[in-house]
Each structure stands twice: as structure tokens, then as C-alpha cells.
Chains A and B, each alone.
Chain A
């Protein structure tokens, strides 16, 4: 085992700790205001910005939406928000800036394929087929307008669509089970 002094890489004499910290901070600088990125978003080309800064840039050049760094095509819908631990919601949302675009969550694929469907041993449909199923089902189906706490970010078109699809799916499942019971 070699000692620290013999290790390859840049040597770090004592007192360079602040330099190093400065360099670390600079890695996360917004490419527009050159300050540490607040409400950070990253473009598809990988460039980091504060959302208010990027939004203002896109607003300044509505006909020419390019990345301020590499000039790749860029759009409001194609930036990814970065959620650092304990980093969000500390900042006042600035005036005239819409909320930062929400992240898009896709649930991991469950392995239940169609052949297993409907035989009662898959965890998925049993979970709503027993007990409180009708109540839970009806409440979740008919409260479109109501705001419920939800783990997924609300308000995006994708979110609405997913909600709608899952309701359609529940109806189909219900009809299928009724058919099984009656047959």
C-alpha cells in the first residue's frame, strides 16, 4: 500500500483545500450567470443552467432556441431538472418564471405478461380484486378534479395521460373479472 504522497494525480499541498472546493463549486456553475446553479436543469446536450436563467435565454430568442454553450437545439420540454439532496425549495421562485419543468418518472416494468393475467396469482390484480377493491377503485376513478397527494409530479401532460390510461386499464380488468366470475 503506497502512501498518500506517492499516489498519482495532482499533488495537493496543504492549503489547497479551498482551491479544490472552489473547483468543485465551479463544476456546478450555471453556464449563464456563472453562479452555482439554482433550480438546476440540464439540457439534452449535458449543459447545466439555473432554470430561471435558461428560461430567460429561451424567452430572449424565441425563434432561435439553441443551447447557450454548444448551440445544439434545445427546448423547454427537453431539459431535465436536477434534484440534489436538500437542494430544492430553498430558493424563491423568481418573478415571471414558470415552475421548472417536472421530471418524468416511469415505473419500472413489472414482469407480469399477458399469459399470467387473470389467474388470480399475480400480485397486481389481486391487490385490487379483494376487500376494499370497489371503494378504492371508484374513488380513484371518479375524482378527476380533486387534488390528492401524489408521489409523481402533477400537471404535466404525461402525468394526465398516465392517469387516464391506468383508469381505462382498471375498467378493462373489472369487466374481465366480472366475466370470469359469471362464466
Chain B
């Protein structure tokens, strides 16, 4: 790994650890290997969003050309959000692409992702199904995102009605996550989700 990349990550790592956001448990980074090429990030779901109370884990890969090129970041924790793929965790965020600037740091990336959870950009979606729901059925979107937060990110919400629908499908032999994806994609319409799963 290029010297400047490793050296900078080391400095940034210390900076994040000392930052006030860490003190508030809003963001966190951990080393995955000794060579500073891969890190694990964590962000807390922002208050007053469906992600509140959840803890979202990120995979951060630092390219050799860092900081001249952005780190590669994706969500490991499954999340229901217009700009994040519900399948792969890939993120659509301009600063991780062409709007990257060399003075940005791990800290600013994590804070930007947190801001993305507060303010989605459905017109520049990563997940078209989620984005459509976000625009056309905002209440349904909030419910679904909250449900995913409680299931995958340790969020506090209890939603027995949605859990029941999933159980109906798992009783038919459908894998739980697939059942959740199908129901989420069809606005929790059990019939249409069943149709899609068994077609």
C-alpha cells in the first residue's frame, strides 16, 4: 500500500477515535487488518428517522490511491433506503464518486452517510423499488424502513402485524429474508408477494 494512504488512515483513525461524535456514540471505526487497507465503520441511525435506535455496520476499503480517490464503502447491515441497495448494500452518494475531495476523511464520510439516512435523495436512487415506495407511499416506506432497522440493526420498534405476514410466508417454506424482501417490495400485500415468490 502506498505510504501516504496508510499514513493518512492512521492519522484519521486517531482523529475519529478522539472526535466528539465517537463520544456521543454516533460513529465508530475499527481496524480489520494491520495494513490499514480495510476498516469497519459504524453509524448510529439518526434521531427522528425510521433508522433511529439502529446501529449500521459499514465495510470500508481504502484504495492505494487514497486520499486522491475515495474509499469504497458499503453497508453490511441490511437497510431499506432509496440510496442504498437492499440486496448488496452498495451506496449511491456523490462524495463517494465524482464529488470526492482529497481533504475528506473517514469522519466526514461517516457523517455524510449519517446525513444520507436523514435525508434520502429518491431522484438519484440506488434501489429503484425502495425509491418508488419512498415517493409514492411515504408511510409505507417509513414502516418498512423501521421494520428493517429493528430486525437487522437492533432497532427498538415492534411491529407484530408485519412479523405475522412474514410468518405466513415462512410457514409456506419461504426463507425469512426473502419473505421480508418480497413483502417490502409489494407494500406488504401478502397476495402479491406470494404470487411473486411462487411464480
Q: Interface 1/0s, chain B 37-48, versus A by CB < 8 A?
A: 000000000000
Known: A33-B7, A35-B7. A69 touches B101 (CB 8 A): yes
CB interface residues, A 21-46, toward B, < 8 Å: 31-35
Q: How far is the CA of A47 from the CA of B98 in the complex (A)?
A: 21
User: Which chain B residue has the least Cβ–Cβ distance from A63?
Assistant: B98
**Interface residue tally on B, bucketed by range:** 10 to 19
Q: List 25 A-B contacts (CB under 8 A).
A: A31-B102, A32-B67, A32-B68, A32-B102, A32-B103, A33-B4, A33-B7, A33-B8, A33-B67, A34-B8, A34-B12, A35-B11, A47-B103, A53-B102, A56-B68, A57-B102, A60-B65, A60-B68, A60-B69, A60-B102, A68-B101, A68-B102, A68-B104, A69-B101, A71-B101
Q: Interface 1/0s, chain A 60-96, versus B by CB < 8 A?
A: 1000101111010000000000000000000000000
**Interface residue tally on A, bucketed by range:** 10 to 19
Q: How far is the CA of A32 from the CA of B4 in the complex (A)?
A: 9
Q: How far is the CA of A69 from the CA of B98 in the complex (A)?
A: 15
Q: Interface 1/0s, chain B 85-99, versus A by CB < 8 A?
A: 000000000000010
Residues of A within 8 A of B7 (CB): 33, 35
Interface of A is mostly: loop
User: Which chain A residue has the least Cβ–Cβ distance from B4?
Assistant: A33
Q: How far is the CA of A57 from the CA of B100 in the complex (A)?
A: 11
User: Which chain A residue has the least Cβ–Cβ distance from B65?
Assistant: A60
A residues touching B (Cβ–Cβ < 8 Å)?
31-35, 47, 53, 56-57, 60, 64, 66-69, 71
Residues of A within 8 A of B69 (CB): 60
- Are A66 and B8 interface neighbours, CB within 8 A? no
Q: Interface 1/0s, chain B 46-75, versus A by CB < 8 A?
A: 000000000000000000010111000000
Residues of A within 8 A of B104 (CB): 68
User: Which chain A residue has the least Cβ–Cβ distance from B68?
Assistant: A60
Residues of A within 8 A of B98 (CB): 64
CB interface residues, B 97-114, toward A, < 8 Å: 98, 101-104
Residues of A within 8 A of B12 (CB): 34
Q: How far is the CA of A18 from the CA of B12 in the complex (A)?
A: 20
User: Which chain B residue has the least Cβ–Cβ distance from A64?
Assistant: B98
Known: A32-B67, A56-B68, A57-B68. A66 touches B11 (CB 8 A): no
Q: How far is the CA of A19 from the CA of B98 in the complex (A)?
A: 37
Distance between B68 CB and nearest chain A CB, rounded to angstroms: 4
Distance between A155 CB and nearest chain B CB, rounded to angstroms: 27
Q: How far is the CA of A71 from the CA of B4 in the complex (A)?
A: 22
User: Which chain B residue has the least Cβ–Cβ distance from A61?
Assistant: B68
User: Which chain B residue has the least Cβ–Cβ distance from A71?
Assistant: B101
Distance between B94 CB and nearest chain A CB, rounded to angstroms: 11
User: Which chain A residue has the least Cβ–Cβ distance from B105?
Assistant: A34
Q: How far is the CA of A56 from the CA of B98 in the complex (A)?
A: 16
- Are A34 and B102 interface neighbours, CB within 8 A? no
Q: Interface 1/0s, chain B 4-40, versus A by CB < 8 A?
A: 1001100110000000000000000000000000000
Residues of B within 8 A of A71 (CB): 101
